[in-house]
């Protein structure tokens, strides 16, 4: 069933090698939610990608890329050969390393990235070489999807000193994803909220704590990745086929609905009941195509695919 | 009498005569209208053992107590006869303005026998309110060969009467294709070959224009319920029908491994995404449409590349798509258009062609091979559809339906004929929907998803849909009884989830319409009575226990793909479920109805 995921075979490329000069210390090492920011970024991306490539500068200090349990994260580490050439180099080295044909490139300092938006960007690559969001009046090359085939062009750019990623976009088939389209998946554009100064960092920590809610204890790398497939009314309303979620350990089907409601608020009402943790009548939930869910306290297992369908099968 | 007119119109086409017969209230209360009343009249009017194409086989149209009350989704009528496809009961529903006009014609049922020479159409109506309508037998030679749509338009213009409503057959009905439909306003009484019976009577069409409003006992009470149901019909429960239509089933069924593909070789289709209701809605949606006085409006018209609009619902999409391996939405739309024009049941047409494709691929049907008929090949498939309707060449064999065609062809070909009692299976894979498997096996009209909604249990999580047991018997019987009551009141299936307690609420509504004081228990009993009478009719027409069975492929092959990969259906599993069903019904272990049961239901 993996083949059905738009992200199947896609790699995530996480760039960590920026100068961090305004921050005053290396961003990748900043503690975030009880772990270094780079580890946090990798864990967030894990449910969506079969391959994760971390690109770091030649001499850059990195924390151990491990979960809280000590288990190593499935990451390929690439070192940038020449220091501080900028993002084009990072993208180039990352794509070079990818096994599959497609790479989603991001930096490690966007803790609020939306997996729904990333899935959408990936799904748009079919007839293009680059899919790049346009947010707050500018293209966002460090939150974009690239075909690996563009790597040689990036190399040419490096050699000729064209160090701005957007120079590439004129040369290849580029799909720009505009603000309205972005808002369908990430209403506030939090995916583009990166941290450049200590103030940014503090604000992000604060936002993160608020999002989690005060009562919830910080959980160690405990995350249950699962995918929700939307069918029927849910798909038409959300304008997306599937959403990847990373839920806390012990999460139940009711948690899936809440997480989905948060990601796709447009589903609240027509598909998800207003309380956010059950389905509106006329919809049903099935796990892995096998069991129809009647009990919302059923626990979700890692890798589960959860179908939200328009229930009435008649016709 | 409230809610009914209390009249049956009997027409004999041979002598071009008609007579009015009173319908007693006891019969109407015991069977309601629609399918129930039709079954009751068929049982009484058809001579035992009658040949389906014999002039003596009655073709019965019925209306129902809720028709014309303004209650949403109730503009429906039933057609009941002995099926030329199965040799058992055929009971089919269709909807829209023809249904309203039938009720306004001042009758509850029309029973047509005989055979017109030359072909005619009937014009019923045209009198002052309160008077019995006039019945005219009008020359139809100039309409022969016309599509139902053309026929409707021509009749309207020659009668110079825009308000007249017409139900007609197309070429398939004229040529006695055993799965021909009767069509009105683009809708069809689709299954079981009712159109062929009409064709055998040389009856091209029925035109109606009525002006008899039926009275209800408590108009205010009925209006209040109608208003409440209208509200409920616009909630999330019906969102699927309102926002996508039944085509939404395709993607879900594919993911659940219940989408019959390539003549039931598989239960998933690699190209399901392109054919899914979601994709069709995004790429080809043209218009939403509905039956008369319906607030749900589940019908979808899609635009084909030629710019033409075409109605499409799930069964048509499945049967003319995955079942035949056809992946191009455009080809499916074209095929659906041909079926509409000729008046062909899309499920049986797809099922019979899928059989022919498999036979051709296995080297058993040289004529089909010559035509290039293969799974997934659109052009020969479209040509074969036309050939069936015209009964030309190979079409003449396929016009007989898969069971008869396989009997004629012989060899192993019966193994690939996917039918129950001669009726081709609709788009629900029995191996991964075990309750539905039982529903198909025992349904009186053959493999049918309308007279039994047994799939609901499978999709509910109440039972393990991948394995069967005796308990399914009770679920199937309950589902059949429920469907019979819906189909006799008549309320559209797609409103069913809008009731909080269907039997209690329907009993209240029926009481307000008829002035009877009905209870939910009485309605449950009506449902059981109707199903038992259908069975009794079948037994009289020669039913044997082996008729309640499934095609051998389903018992011989496990599903090769999808989430139900490796799941099959065993003989003992099926036997156990059938045994459970007979027991739940109170029948003997071979499926015959004991006298005691008949008496209990007032049928003895
Ligand atoms: S829901 Fe669909 S089939 Fe039922 S009455 Fe309405 S339009 Fe007709």
CATH of the domain at B62: 3.60.9.10
- Which of B424, B458, B476 marks a domain boundary? B424
Confidence tier at A220 by pLDDT (50, 70, 90): very low
Q: Is B58 within 8 Å of B113 (Cβ atoms)?
A: yes
Q: Could you give the number of structural domains in chain B? A: 3
Tell me: do B284 and B392 sit in the same domain: yes
Q: Between these two residues, B459 and A33, which has the higher pLDDT value?
A: B459
What is the predicted pLDDT for the residue at A314?
56
Nearest chain A Cα to B299, which residue?
A315
Tell me: do B462 and B494 sit in the same domain: yes
Tell me: do B414 and B493 sit in the same domain: no
Ligand 1 atom closest to the CA of B297, numbered from 1: 7
What is the predicted pLDDT for the residue at A126?
84
What is the predicted pLDDT for the residue at A7?
52
Give me the residue from A281, A290, A315 closest to B563, CB to CB.
A290
Q: Residue B422: which of B443, B448, B446 has the closest Cα?
A: B446
Nearest chain A Cα to B318, which residue?
A315
Q: Which of B243, B494, B495, B498 to mutate to test the pocket of ligand 1 (most atoms within 8 A of CB)?
A: B494
Q: Between these two residues, A19 and A203, which has the higher pLDDT value?
A: A203
Mean pLDDT across B419-443: 98
Distance B235 CA to ligand 1 centre (A): 15
Nearest chain A Cα to B483, which residue?
A314
pLDDT > 90? residue A261: no
From chain B residues 497-556, the ones with a CB under 8 A of any chain A CB are 497
Among B119-133, B207-221, B459-473, B520-534, the range with the most confident prediction by mean pLDDT is B520-534
Burial level of A132, CB count in 10 A (0-12/13-18/19+)? buried
Nearest chain B Cα to A279, which residue?
B236
Tell me: do B350 and B375 sit in the same domain: yes
Structural domains in chain A plus CATH codes:
10-202 (3.90.550.10), 223-310 (3.10.20.30)
CA distance B369 to A172: 47
Distance B29 CA to ligand 1 centre (A): 26
Tell me whether residues A282 and B235 touch, CB distance under 8 A: yes
Angle at A183 between CA A181 and CA A184, to 5 degrees: 70
Tell me: do B391 and B360 sit in the same domain: yes
- What backbone torsions phi and psi does residue A237 show, to the nearest 5 degrees? -70, -45
Tell me: do B29 and B151 sit in the same domain: yes
What average pLDDT does the structure give for chain A?
85
Region of A93 on the Ramachandran plot (φ > 0 left; ψ -120 to 50 alpha; else beta) = alpha
Q: Between these two residues, B358 and A29, which has the higher pLDDT value?
A: B358
Lay out the sheet containing B76-82: strands in order across. B17-22, B7-12, B109-113, B59-62, B76-82, B89-95
Lay out the sheet containing A224-230: strands in order across. A242-247, A224-230, A305-310, A283-287, A291-292
CA distance A32 to A271: 34
What is the predicted pLDDT for the residue at A219?
45
> Which residue's CA lies nearest to atom 8 of ligand 1?
B291
Q: Residue A37: which of A112, A92, A133, A89 has the closest Cα?
A: A112
Residue B215 lies in a domain: no
From chain B residues 437-496, the ones with a CB under 8 A of any chain A CB are 449, 453, 455-456, 459-462, 466, 493-494, 496
- Flag whether residue A158 sits within 8 Å of chain B, measured between CB atoms: no
Number of Cβ atoms within 10 Å of the Cβ of B252: 28
In percent, the amount of chain A with pLDDT more than 70 equals 91
Residue B225 lies in a domain: no
- CB-CB neighbors (< 8 A) of B432 in chain A: none
Tell me: do B157 and B281 sit in the same domain: no
The residues near A284 (Cβ < 8 Å, ≥ 6 apart) are A292, A293, A308, A309, A310, A311, B459, B460, B461
- CB-CB neighbors (< 8 A) of A306 in chain B: none
CA distance B39 to B534: 6
> Which residue's CA lies nearest to atom 2 of ligand 1?
B298
pLDDT > 50? residue B191: yes
Count Cα atoms within 13 angstroms, Cβ side, for A289: 19
The gap between the terminal CA atoms of chain B, to the nearest Å, is 26
Bridge partner residues of B33 (DSSP): none
Q: Is A254 within 8 Å of A277 (Cβ atoms)?
A: yes
3-state secondary structure of A75: strand
Strand-strand pairing, A174-177 and A291-292: unpaired
pLDDT per residue as tens digits for the range B39-49: 999 999 999 99
Q: Which of B73, B187, B453 to mutate to test the pocket of ligand 1 (most atoms within 8 A of CB)?
A: B73
Burial level of B305, CB count in 10 A (0-12/13-18/19+)? exposed
Mean pLDDT across B156-182: 95
Burial level of B6, CB count in 10 A (0-12/13-18/19+)? middle
Domain CATH for B295? 1.10.569.10
- Which of B424, B441, B469 marks a domain boundary? B424
Mean pLDDT across B299-312: 92
Mean pLDDT across B211-234: 93
Distance from CA of B449 to the nearest CA of A (A): 8
Angle at A177 between CA A171 and CA A179, to 5 degrees: 140
Residue B82 lies in a domain: yes
Interface mutation vs chain B, best among A6, A288, A313, most B CBs within 10 Å: A313
What is the predicted pLDDT for the residue at A213?
58
DSSP state of B344: B
Q: Which of B69, B249, B287, B299 to mutate to test the pocket of ligand 1 (most atoms within 8 A of CB)?
A: B299
Q: What lines the ligand 1 site, CB under 6 Å? A: B 73, 95, 241, 290-291, 294, 296-299, 492, 494
Residue B36 lies in a domain: yes
Distance B160 CA to ligand 1 centre (A): 29
How far is CA A149 from each of CA A86, A90, A122, A166, A172, rounded to the nearest angstrom? Answer: 20, 15, 15, 16, 10
Q: Is B398 within 8 Å of B353 (Cβ atoms)?
A: yes
Residue B218 lies in a domain: no
Tell me: do B178 and B252 sit in the same domain: no
Distance B433 CA to ligand 1 centre (A): 25
Confidence tier at A312 by pLDDT (50, 70, 90): low
Residue B595 lies in a domain: yes
- What backbone torsions phi and psi does residue B132 show, to the nearest 5 degrees? -70, 140
Nearest chain B Cα to A271, which residue?
B236
Tell me: do B411 and B459 sit in the same domain: no
Domain CATH for B533? 1.10.599.10
Tell me whether residues A289 and B257 touch, CB distance under 8 A: yes
- CB-CB neighbors (< 8 A) of A310 in chain B: 239-240, 244, 248, 252
Tell me: do B338 and B293 sit in the same domain: yes
pLDDT > 60? residue A162: yes
How far is CA B109 from each of CA B80, B103, B119, rounded to the nearest angstrom? Answer: 10, 9, 22
CA distance B586 to B592: 9
From chain B residues 189-208, the ones with a CB under 8 A of any chain A CB are none
Bridge partner residues of A32 (DSSP): A35
Among A104-118, A228-242, B333-347, the range with the most confident prediction by mean pLDDT is B333-347
Mean pLDDT across B249-257: 95
What is the predicted pLDDT for the residue at B178?
98
- Flag whether residue A302 sits within 8 Å of chain B, measured between CB atoms: no
- Total length of chain A: 315
CA distance B60 to A54: 74
Residue B220 lies in a domain: no
- Which of B383, B404, B424 marks a domain boundary? B424
pLDDT per residue as tens digits for the range B318-338: 999 999 999 999 999 999 999
Interface ipTM > 0.90: no
- What range defines the domain where residue B182 resides? 7-209
Bridge partner residues of B20 (DSSP): B9
Count Cα atoms within 13 angstroms, Cβ side, for A268: 13
CA distance B526 to A267: 41
What is the predicted pLDDT for the residue at B306?
87
- Total length of chain B: 604
The gap between the terminal CA atoms of chain A, to the nearest Å, is 27
Tell me: do B419 and B441 sit in the same domain: no
Q: Dihedral sign, CA of A231, A234, A235, A240?
A: negative
3-state secondary structure of B333: helix
3-state secondary structure of B291: coil
In percent, the amount of chain B with pLDDT more than 70 equals 100
CA distance A313 to B241: 10
Residue B228 lies in a domain: no
pLDDT > 90? residue A250: no
Interface mutation vs chain B, best among A1, A123, A229, A231, most B CBs within 10 Å: A231
The residues near B197 (Cβ < 8 Å, ≥ 6 apart) are B52, B53, B57, B59, B81, B82, B83, B84, B90
Tell me: do B437 and B420 sit in the same domain: no
CA distance A62 to A27: 10
Mean pLDDT across A201-216: 74
CA distance B98 to B185: 8
Number of Cβ atoms within 10 Å of the Cβ of B491: 25
pLDDT > 80? residue B75: yes
What's the pTM?
Answer: 0.77
CA distance A130 to A176: 8
Q: Residue B67: which of B90, B100, B101, B19 has the closest Cα?
A: B100
Distance from CA of B242 to the nearest CA of A (A): 9
């Amino acid at each position: 069933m993996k083949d059905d995921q738009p992200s199947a075979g896609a790699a995530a490329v996480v760039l960590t090698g920026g100068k961090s000069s305004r921050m005053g210390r290396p961003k990748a090492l900043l503690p975030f939610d009880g772990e270094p920011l780079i580890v946090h970024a990798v864990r967030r991306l894990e449910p969506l990608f079969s391959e994760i490539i971390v690109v770091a500068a030649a001499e850059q200090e990195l924390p151990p890329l491990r979960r809280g349990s000590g288990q190593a994260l499935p990451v390929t580490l690439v070192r940038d050969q020449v220091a501080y050439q900028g993002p084009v180099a990072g993208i180039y080295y990352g794509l070079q390393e990818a096994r599959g044909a497609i790479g989603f490139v991001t930096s490690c300092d966007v803790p609020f990235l939306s997996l729904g938006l990333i899935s959408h960007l990936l799904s748009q690559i079919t007839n293009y070489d680059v899919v790049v969001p346009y947010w707050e009046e500018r293209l966002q090359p460090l939150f974009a999807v690239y075909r690996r085939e563009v790597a040689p062009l990036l190399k040419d750019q490096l050699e000729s000193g064209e160090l701005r990623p957007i120079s590439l976009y004129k040369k290849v088939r580029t799909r720009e994803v505009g603000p309205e389209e972005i808002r369908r998946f990430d209403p506030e554009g939090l995916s583009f909220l990166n941290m450049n100064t200590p103030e940014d960092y503090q604000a992000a920590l604060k936002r993160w704590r608020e999002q989690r809610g005060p009562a919830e204890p910080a959980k160690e790398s405990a995350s249950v990745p699962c995918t929700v497939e939307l069918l029927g009314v849910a798909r038409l309303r959300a304008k997306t086929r599937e959403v990847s979620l990373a839920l806390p350990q012990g999460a139940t089907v009711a948690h899936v609905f809440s997480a989905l409601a948060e990601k796709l608020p447009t589903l609240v009402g027509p598909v998800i009941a207003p309380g956010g943790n059950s389905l509106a009548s006329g919809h049903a939930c099935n796990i892995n195509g096998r069991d129809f869910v009647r009990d919302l306290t059923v626990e979700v297992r890692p890798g589960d695919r959860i179908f939200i369908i328009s229930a009435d099968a008649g016709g | 009498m409230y809610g009914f007119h209390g009249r049956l119109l009997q027409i004999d086409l041979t002598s071009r005569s008609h007579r009015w017969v009173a319908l007693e209230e006891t019969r109407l209360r015991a069977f309601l209208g629609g399918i129930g009343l039709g079954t009751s009249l068929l049982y009484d009017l058809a001579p035992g053992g009658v040949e389906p194409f014999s002039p003596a086989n009655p073709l019965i149209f019925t209306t129902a107590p809720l028709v014309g009350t303004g209650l949403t989704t109730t503009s429906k009528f039933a057609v009941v006869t002995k099926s030329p496809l199965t040799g058992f009961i055929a009971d089919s529903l269709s909807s829209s303005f023809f249904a309203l006009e039938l009720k306004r014609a001042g009758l509850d049922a029309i029973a047509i026998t005989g055979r017109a020479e030359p072909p005619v159409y009937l014009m019923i109506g045209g009198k002052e309110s309160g008077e019995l309508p006039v019945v005219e037998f009008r020359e139809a030679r100039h309409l022969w060969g016309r599509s139902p749509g053309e026929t409707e338009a021509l009749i309207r213009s020659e009668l110079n009467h825009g308000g007249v409503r017409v139900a007609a057959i197309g070429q398939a009905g004229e040529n006695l294709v055993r799965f021909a439909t009767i069509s009105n306003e683009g809708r069809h009484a689709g299954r079981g070959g009712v159109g062929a019976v009409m064709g055998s009577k040389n009856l091209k069409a029925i035109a109606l224009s009525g002006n008899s409003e039926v009275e209800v006992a408590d108009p205010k009470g009925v209006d209040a319920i109608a208003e409440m149901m209208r509200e409920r019909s616009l909630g999330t429960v019906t969102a699927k029908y309102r926002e996508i239509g039944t085509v939404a089933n395709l993607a879900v069924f594919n993911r659940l491994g219940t989408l019959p593909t390539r003549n039931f070789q598989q239960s998933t289709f690699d190209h399901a995404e392109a054919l899914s209701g979601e994709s069709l809605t995004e790429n080809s949606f043209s218009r939403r449409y509905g039956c008369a006085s319906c607030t749900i409006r589940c019908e979808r018209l899609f635009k084909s590349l030629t710019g033409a609009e075409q109605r499409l619902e799930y069964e048509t999409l499945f049967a003319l798509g995955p079942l035949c391996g056809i992946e191009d939405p455009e080809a499916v739309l074209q095929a659906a258009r041909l079926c509409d024009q000729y008046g062909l049941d899309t499920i049986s047409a797809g099922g019979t062609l899928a059989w022919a494709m498999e036979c051709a691929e296995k080297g058993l049907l040289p004529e089909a091979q010559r035509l290039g008929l293969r799974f997934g090949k659109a052009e020969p498939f479209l040509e074969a559809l036309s050939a069936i309707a015209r009964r030309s060449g190979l079409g003449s064999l396929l016009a007989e339906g898969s069971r008869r065609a396989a009997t004629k062809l012989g060899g192993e070909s019966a193994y690939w004929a996917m039918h129950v009692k001669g009726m081709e299976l609709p788009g629900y894979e029995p191996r991964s929907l075990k309750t539905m498997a039982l529903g198909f096996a025992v349904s009186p009209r053959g493999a049918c998803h309308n007279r039994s909604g047994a799939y609901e249990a499978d999709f509910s999580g109440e039972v393990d849909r991948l394995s069967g047991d005796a308990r399914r018997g009770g679920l199937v019987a309950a589902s059949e009884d429920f469907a019979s009551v819906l189909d006799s009141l008549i309320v559209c299936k797609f409103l069913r989830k809008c009731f909080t307690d269907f039997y209690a609420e329907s009993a209240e509504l029926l009481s307000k319409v008829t002035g009877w004081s009905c209870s939910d228990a009485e309605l449950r009993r009506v449902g059981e009575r109707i199903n038992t009478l259908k069975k009794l009719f079948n037994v009289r027409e020669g039913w044997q226990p082996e008729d309640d069975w499934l095609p051998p492929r389903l018992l011989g092959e496990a599903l090769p793909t999808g989430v139900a990969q490796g799941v099959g259906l065993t003989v003992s599993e099926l036997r156990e479920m059938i045994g459970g069903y007979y027991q739940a019904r109170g029948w003997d272990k071979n499926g015959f109805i004991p006298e005691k049961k008949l008496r209990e239901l007032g049928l003895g």
